């Protein structure tokens, strides 16, 4: 249920300021901070050697100069990737960020994070949680951390691992189905995260009336999104949050 310690903002930068910098990189987080956004949404998963890194896809091709699977890399191989040149020449040589490096930057900038536990096909949710969740809980205060996932097993293991400590969890949905409350209650979630285009007013009001915090992803058109604020949406996750400012 709702976590009063969680200082959730109105605007969250999706994978960092991904409209203006390569997604899920240290550069994208610095860019978000540079435009006055205090929180970022990022993805974490494991390299083949068990190192948690900030990365979305199962593969490397879309966001680097390499092909292949993330699961086949160790940290030494990951260090040789260029995770920025695909986006623009100014970012050539940008490294893949480890979770440790990203947490250090978030603390340096006093930023919060909605960290998605990204469980791609064939990957072990328990291993990801064991590697990532304790590190996040140690590095950031409860007010600046929210862990979310589409994967119920990852969320359940995170809840079990946290024990009595404060840990804000969010359940990710595309469309919010009829079983949304069961899924949230099973992991003691505090928030529901929905695809903004598939969110309907009755379900949104049902979620907020039950006391859950409602976030929407990935909205980039402030005018099209505007009616949803009245439905009780608390935060929007956007590739370009400055469009929603002012």
Give the pLDDT score at 3: 67
Assess whether pLDDT exceeds 90 at residue 158: yes
CATH of 11-59+99-244, one of 3.30.56.10, 3.30.470.10, 3.20.20.190, 3.40.640.10: 3.20.20.190
Assess whether pLDDT exceeds 90 at residue 148: yes
How is the chain split into domains, by residue range? Answer: 11-59+99-244
Give the pLDDT score at 164: 75
Give the chain as a DSSP string: ---TT----SEEEETTTTTTS-TTSHHHHHHHHHTT--EEEEEEEE-TTS-EEE--SSBSSTTSS--SBGGG--HHHHHT--SSTTT-GGGTTPPPPBHHHHHHHHHHHT-EEEEEE---TT--HHHHHHHHHHHHHHHS-GGGEEEEES-HHHHHHHHHHHTTS---EEEE-SS--TTHHHHHHHTT--EEEEETTT--HHHHHHHHHTT-EEEEE----HHHHGGGGGGT--EEEES-GGGG--
Q: What is the pLDDT of residues 85-132, one digit of tens each?
A: 999 999 999 999 999 999 999 999 999 999 999 999 999 999 999 999
- Stretch 8-23: mean pLDDT, rounded? 98
Active site residue ranges: 14, 56
Q: What is the pLDDT of residues 30-47, one digit of tens each?
A: 999 999 999 999 999 999
Give the pLDDT score at 1: 52
> Model's pTM, two decimal places?
0.97
Assess whether pLDDT exceeds 80 at residue 194: yes
Assess whether pLDDT exceeds 90 at residue 2: no
């Amino acid at each position: 249920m709702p976590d009063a310690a969680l200082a959730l903002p109105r605007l969250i930068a999706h994978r960092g300021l991904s409209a203006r910098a390569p997604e899920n990189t240290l550069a994208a987080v610095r860019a978000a901070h540079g435009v006055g956004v205090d929180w970022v949404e990022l993805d974490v998963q494991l390299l083949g050697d068990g190192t948690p890194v900030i990365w979305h896809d199962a593969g490397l091709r879309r966001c680097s100069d390499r092909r292949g699977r993330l699961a086949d890399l160790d940290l030494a191989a990951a260090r040789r990737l260029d995770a920025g040149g695909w986006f623009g020449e100014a970012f050539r040589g940008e490294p893949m960020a480890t979770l440790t490096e990203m947490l250090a930057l978030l603390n340096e900038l006093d930023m919060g994070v909605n960290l998605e536990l990204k469980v791609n096909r064939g990957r072990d949710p328990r291993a990801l949680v064991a590697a990532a969740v304790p590190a996040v809980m140690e590095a950031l205060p409860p007010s600046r951390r929210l862990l979310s996932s589409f994967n119920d097993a990852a969320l359940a293991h995170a809840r079990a691992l946290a024990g009595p400590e404060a840990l804000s969890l969010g359940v990710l949905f595309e469309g919010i189905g009829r079983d949304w409350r069961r899924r949230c209650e099973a992991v003691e979630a505090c928030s529901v995260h929905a695809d903004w285009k598939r969110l309907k007013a009755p379900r949104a009001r049902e979620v907020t009336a039950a006391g859950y915090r409602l976030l929407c992803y990935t909205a980039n058109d402030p005018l099209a999104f505007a009616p949803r604020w009245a439905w009780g949406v608390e935060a929007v996750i956007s590739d370009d949050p400055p469009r929603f400012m002012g």
